[in-house]
């Protein structure tokens, strides 16, 4: 009996120790976003560079280390002769402190862990100083100011941004026929073939309004659905059945305050109900709320409005689920629509809609899911955007701007820097107004996510161009 109790107590201790570690995001995911911000389109080719590995190892110790993890990173930096790398205990914090420690301003001092937090910043600064030569004054006065400090801060704030994005880009890549779909980057749709659908001339001559649904495949997944839509087909939409079948990949979870309506999954109709799409397993797909109510809805509403305004006209319509391998959950859907009588002048779409949900990590093999945005609802962290941001009420954009100004002080009059700051200013103005226009918390969350991706795209576009002009950077990364 004593042995059983000892085993039980040990198991509980291990469980609690694991649950207390608040790993803010996947290390590989962070590294992917950081290298894109530094190198843009060259990110993949630079990921194996030893200097990049040093910077990312130091960033881990500064931003992700907790609960005695990271000794391998310390050993790696010492091997590469980075000065002043301390023992792990001088950096270590408890996982319960991780978000407040590493998701705050660069100068923040965590009560009870000031020395450790200062050591974490020092490791990152010293590694930046090891990789780059910032010139005489930096060597004379140290790395706690000037471009060295601001480059370290750029890495630090980029890490926070990657946690706000809370998405593994590799998971949302896909192949849609002959088209390669890039990772989700904030837009619910990706345009295929210049937005021109691939209906044949024979299909454009079809007059039968009966939808054509595919048989389920060997795994029980729905396939392409085709229909000729007319205003007359919209007059027979009956009441929604009480019990609808669960499509493959159905693994429902709720995320209150993050998703409108709370539910992650909807039973998404391939041929929408407003077009008299039937409620059966052949016409249903497990789709996220984001896919169903944002991505697909935009096209469905455009087609519906067209048919109401042109009741004599018709629209060819096809929705094709896109699965990777044997996954139960579709990566997305291809939606094609073409107005027949006016040869596509009114409706002409060929779009891929991502089956994603911002802030949620989805396993497409099974449909299982979990919260990926561990910053959601967290207190005492630096927000992405706040109303009336200032030094006493800072946000991520404000703090990053300070260091971009130092880092690129010699390029402030260039068109590249001006364009970057103008776009950042627009994003900041709009993002800081989110939540003040009557949105509920879930609506505000989804809208803010779009601005976070826009901000990332701006940094990924302009920061590499500006860094390529800086002597300290181009001498190392030619």
> How does pLDDT run across 385-438, given as a tens digit for each residue?
999 999 999 999 999 999 999 999 999 999 999 999 999 999 999 999 999 988
Residue 253: is it exposed, middle or buried by C-beta count within 10 angstroms (0-12/13-18/19+)? Answer: middle
Rounded Cα–Cα distance for residues 331 and 356 (Å): 8
All domains of the chain in start order, with CATH: 23-166+376-474 (no CATH), 172-371 (3.40.570.10)
pLDDT bracket for residue 251 (50, 70, 90): very high
Q: Residue 242: is its pLDDT beyond 70? A: yes
pLDDT score recorded for residue 358: 94
C-alpha distances in angstroms, 204 versus 235, 244, 343? 23, 32, 9
Question: Of how many residues is the chain composed?
Answer: 478
pLDDT score recorded for residue 428: 98
Residue 57: is it exposed, middle or buried by C-beta count within 10 angstroms (0-12/13-18/19+)? Answer: buried
pLDDT score recorded for residue 141: 60
Q: Residue 277: is its pLDDT beyond 70? A: yes
pLDDT score recorded for residue 124: 96
Rounded Cα–Cα distance for residues 252 and 240 (Å): 20
Bridge partner residues of 348 (DSSP): 338
pLDDT score recorded for residue 207: 92
Rounded Cα–Cα distance for residues 138 and 141 (Å): 5
Q: What b/e string do you get for 224-235 counting C-beta neighbours within 10 Å, with b at 16 or more?
A: ebbbbbbbebbe
**pLDDT > 70: percent of the chain:** 92
CA dihedral (82, 87, 89, 90) positive or negative: negative
pLDDT score recorded for residue 273: 87
Pairing of strands 348-354, 369-371: unpaired
Segment 228-248 shows an average pLDDT of 81
pLDDT bracket for residue 445 (50, 70, 90): very high
Phi and psi at residue 58, to the nearest 5°: -65, -40
**pLDDT > 90: percent of the chain:** 79
Q: What is the mean pLDDT of the chain?
A: 90
Q: Residue 10: is its pLDDT beyond 60? A: no
> How does pLDDT run across 319-373, given as a tens digit for each residue?
999 999 999 999 999 999 999 999 999 999 999 999 999 999 999 999 999 999 9
Rounded Cα–Cα distance for residues 8 and 304 (Å): 60
Tokens 């705050």 found at: 104
CA dihedral (109, 473, 61, 139) positive or negative: negative
Q: Max alpha carbon distance in the chain (Å)? A: 82
> How does pLDDT run across 113-155, given as a tens digit for each residue?
888 999 999 999 999 999 999 876 666 566 667 899 999 999 9
pLDDT score recorded for residue 56: 97
> How does pLDDT run across 253-264, given as a tens digit for each residue?
999 999 999 999
Segment 18-43 shows an average pLDDT of 76
332 vs 22 pLDDT, higher one: 332
Q: Are 123 and 77 in contact (CB under 8 A)?
A: yes
User: Among the listed ranges 1-10, 59-68, 131-140, 428-437, which one has the minimum average pLDDT value?
Assistant: 1-10
pLDDT score recorded for residue 112: 76
Question: Percent helix, strand and coil across the chain, each rounded to 5?
Answer: 45, 15, 40
| DSSP 3-state of 86 | coil
Q: Residue 6: is its pLDDT beyond 50? A: no
Q: Residue 381: is its pLDDT beyond 60? A: yes
Q: Residue 160: is its pLDDT beyond 90? A: yes
> How does pLDDT run across 173-184, given as a tens digit for each residue?
999 999 999 999
Rounded Cα–Cα distance for residues 185 and 346 (Å): 28
């Amino acid at each position: 009996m004593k042995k059983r109790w000892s085993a039980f107590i040990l198991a509980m201790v291990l469980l609690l120790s694991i649950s207390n570690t608040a790993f803010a995001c996947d290390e590989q995911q962070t590294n992917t976003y950081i290298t894109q911000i530094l190198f843009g389109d060259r990110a993949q080719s630079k990921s194996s560079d030893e200097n990049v590995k040093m910077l990312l190892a130091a960033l881990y110790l500064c931003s992700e280390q907790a609960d005695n993890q990271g000794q391998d990173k310390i050993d790696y930096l010492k091997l590469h002769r980075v000065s002043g790398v301390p023992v792990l205990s001088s950096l270590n914090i408890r996982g319960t402190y991780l978000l407040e420690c590493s998701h705050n301003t660069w100068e923040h001092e965590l009560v009870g862990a000031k020395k450790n937090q200062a050591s974490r910043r020092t490791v990152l600064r010293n590694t930046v100083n090891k990789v780059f030569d910032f010139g005489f004054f930096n060597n004379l006065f140290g790395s706690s100011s000037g471009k060295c400090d601001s480059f370290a801060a750029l890495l630090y704030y980029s890490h926070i941004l990657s946690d706000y994005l809370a998405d593994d880009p590799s998971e949302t890549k896909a192949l849609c026929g002959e088209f390669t779909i890039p990772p989700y980057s904030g837009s619910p749709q990706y345009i295929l073939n210049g937005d021109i659908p691939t209906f044949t001339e024979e299909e454009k001559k079809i007059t039968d309004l009966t939808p054509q649904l595919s048989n389920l495949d060997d795994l029980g997944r729905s396939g392409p659905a085709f229909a000729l839509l007319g205003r007359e087909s919209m007059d027979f939409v009956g009441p929604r059945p009480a019990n609808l079948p669960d499509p493959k990949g159905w693994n429902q979870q709720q995320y209150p305050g993050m998703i409108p309506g709370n539910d992650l999954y909807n039973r998404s109709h391939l041929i929408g109900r407003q077009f008299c799409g039937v409620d059966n397993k052949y016409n249903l797909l497990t789709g996220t709320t984001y896919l169903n109510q944002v991505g697909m809805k935009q096209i469905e509403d455009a087609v519906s409005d067209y048919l109401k305004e042109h009741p004599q006209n018709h629209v060819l319509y096809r929705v094709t689920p896109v699965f990777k391998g044997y996954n139960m959950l579709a990566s997305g859907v291809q939606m094609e629509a073409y107005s027949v009588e006016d040869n596509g002048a009114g409706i002409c779409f060929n779009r891929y809609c991502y089956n994603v949900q911002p802030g949620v990590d989805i396993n497409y093999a099974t449909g299982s899911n979990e919260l990926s945005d561990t910053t959601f609802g967290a207190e005492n962290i630096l927000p992405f955007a706040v109303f009336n941001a200032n030094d006493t009420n800072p946000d991520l954009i404000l703090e990053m701007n300070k260091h971009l100004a130092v880092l690129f002080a010699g390029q402030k009059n260039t068109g590249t820097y001006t364009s970057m700051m103008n776009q950042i200013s627009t994003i900041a103005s709009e993002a800081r107004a989110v939540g003040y226009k009557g949105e509920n918390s879930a609506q505000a969350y989804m809208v803010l996510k779009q601005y976070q991706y826009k901000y990332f795209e701006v940094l990924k576009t302009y920061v590499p161009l500006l860094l390529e002009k800086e002597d300290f950077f181009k001498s190392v990364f030619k």
